[in-house]
Structure 1
Amino acid sequence: MAPRFARPPIPFGFALGAAEVAEAGTDLAARPPLSTAALRLGAKAAPGYYYPLGDGESAQGRAAFETLLPQLRGTAA
């Protein structure tokens, strides 16, 4: 196979499991600093969340991911 240029991967979504939601805090996990709402997954007592980030093609997904992670880690400014 001939070498070819490949763009860096751009995330289109991010999922957080129940254990990680508990670690980050349900309030923070449920209200991401994104233009789209988080989608709750699983049981109400121990939810996970899915965060749509973009279409996987535009830089919007990378920017959304870089905005989301600091909040989930508790390091957002």
Structure 2
Amino acid sequence: MSDIPNASNLGVIVKNARARAIIYGTYVVAIIVAGAAQVWFASLELGQPDILVGIVAVLAYLGVPVGTLAVANTNSSAG
């Protein structure tokens, strides 16, 4: 039962720093690409394709767990 995340051990979700960096980096690149695609369609005054609407919705949904993972692995004693 010690592997159940709580306020004091939330960092056990993804222990490997490199894996977390890959998760964060992939998420940021995906958001940039999806956002750029939205701007491109908007600038041409075109409707957004359904797939893009779905991708943006999924990325917004994933913001909570990715952000929580980042917060859980941030040194709160700094500063």
TM over 0.5: no
More helix by share: 2
TM-score range, shorter chain: under 0.3
Looking at CA atoms only, which structure, 1 or 2, has the larger radius of gyration? 2
TM-score between the two structures when normalised by the length of structure 1: 0.28
TM-score between the two structures when normalised by the length of structure 2: 0.27
More strand by share: 1
